Amino acid sequence: MRVIICDDDEYIRQKLHDNIRLAFKSMRKSGYQGLLECDEYDNGKDLLEDEGEKDLVFLDIEMPGADGISVGRALKQADSDVLIAYVTSHTEFLDDAMSFCVFRYISKPLNQERIVKCICDAFNILCKRRINVVIDEGNCMYRKVNTYNIVMVEKDSRRLKLYMKNGEVIRIMGTINDFLTGLNPLMFVMSHRSFIINLKYVSRIDKNTVYLCGDKYAAFLSRNKYTSVKEAFITYVEKSI
């Protein structure tokens, strides 16, 4: 789990960092085995230049240079899945922040209990997004994959190919029907007996093909699934607005 703190106040950054560590100690006692990566920035410009994957960002609203609202909006445009927790004493910005689905609003002075709860809630959300996939069953090779970053799945002989948002193709073991059961049914649908598509990345649908990420990816569309796929896509878009 990668957490980023962006605040121009060093005391606030340290306070948040301490509470994040406290939350992870509590989670480890509950059995969590993952790693924590926590980075800090004192301005929004440097944060936006960070191209690494971000799970949760604690973001101040009033900072020199780029303000937290514009930085948060840019983060969401780059990755709609990133969780943003605003940390500020200025409630007048709340409406602007909520307009792009902010995860949490934490007021100053900081409350340890609220910060710990924010971390634990974010962790629970991220766990539901990630699944373990089998790369090589004989050698017990597994990998954790963020399902939100899967653009589509293609059946390839006895394996499956996961096409990821970053362009990577992950080959795993398993059947396409079994894999579908572990995915969010509001986001993933089978367009063909050999393809699962992520509705989040659909660009257009024609009679025989679903195009994703512009025209970068294409999945077959069965005639008998055309209506159900279009309806699923419309429902997904309506729920995302």
Cα separation, 176 vs 173, whole angstroms: 9
pLDDT tens per residue, range 125-136: 887 788 878 786
Average pLDDT of every residue of the chain: 88
**In the predicted model, is pLDDT for residue 241 greater than 70?**
no
Q: Tell me: domain 2-130, CATH 3.40.50.280, correct?
A: no
Residue 25's pLDDT band (cuts 50, 70, 90): confident
Taking residues 154-175, what's their average pLDDT?
Answer: 93
**Over 80: is that where the pLDDT of 93 sits?**
no
Residue 107 bridge partners (DSSP): 88
Nearest-CA neighbor of 136 among 95, 170, 111, 180?
Answer: 170
Q: What are phi and psi of 180, to 5 degrees?
A: -60, -35
Predicted local distance difference test score (pLDDT) of residue 92: 66
What mean pLDDT do residues 58-67 have? Answer: 88
With a CB cutoff of 8 Å and minimum separation 6, the contacts of 75 are 47, 48, 54, 57, 59, 82, 84
Instruction: Tell me which long-range contacts 196-200 makes (C-beta under 8 A, separation of at least 24).
Output: 196/152, 196/153, 197/151, 197/152, 197/153, 197/229, 198/150, 198/151, 198/152, 199/232, 199/233, 199/236, 199/237, 200/80, 200/148, 200/236, 200/240
DSSP label of 30: T
Q: Domain map of the chain by residue range?
A: 2-130, 132-239
Domain 132-239 has CATH 2.40.50.1020: yes
- What is the residue type of 46? D
Look at residue 107 in the predicted model and tell me its pLDDT.
86
Lowest mean pLDDT among 77-81, 149-153, 215-219: 77-81
What's the pLDDT tens digit per position in 186-211? 899 999 999 999 999 999 999 999 99
Q: How far apart are CA 241 and CA 236, in angstroms?
A: 9
Amino acid 96: pLDDT: 67
**Contact residues for 138 (Cβ-Cβ < 8 A; gap 6+):** none
pLDDT the model gives residue 1: 84
Torsion over CA of 228, 232, 234 and 235, rounded to 10 degrees? 130
Which residue type, as a one-letter code, is found at position 232? A
Task: Give the whole-number percent of the chain exceeding pLDDT 70.
Answer: 92
Higher-confidence residue of 208 and 146: namely 208
**Chain segment 99-117, per-residue pLDDT in tens:** 666 888 888 888 888 888 8
Average pLDDT (142-159) is 91
What is the model's pLDDT at position 190? Answer: 98
Q: What are the strands of the beta sheet with 209-212, ordered from one edge?
A: 202-205, 209-212, 217-220
Q: pLDDT band at residue 97, thresholds of 50, 70 and 90? A: low
User: What is residue 124's predicted lDDT score, i.e. its pLDDT?
Assistant: 81
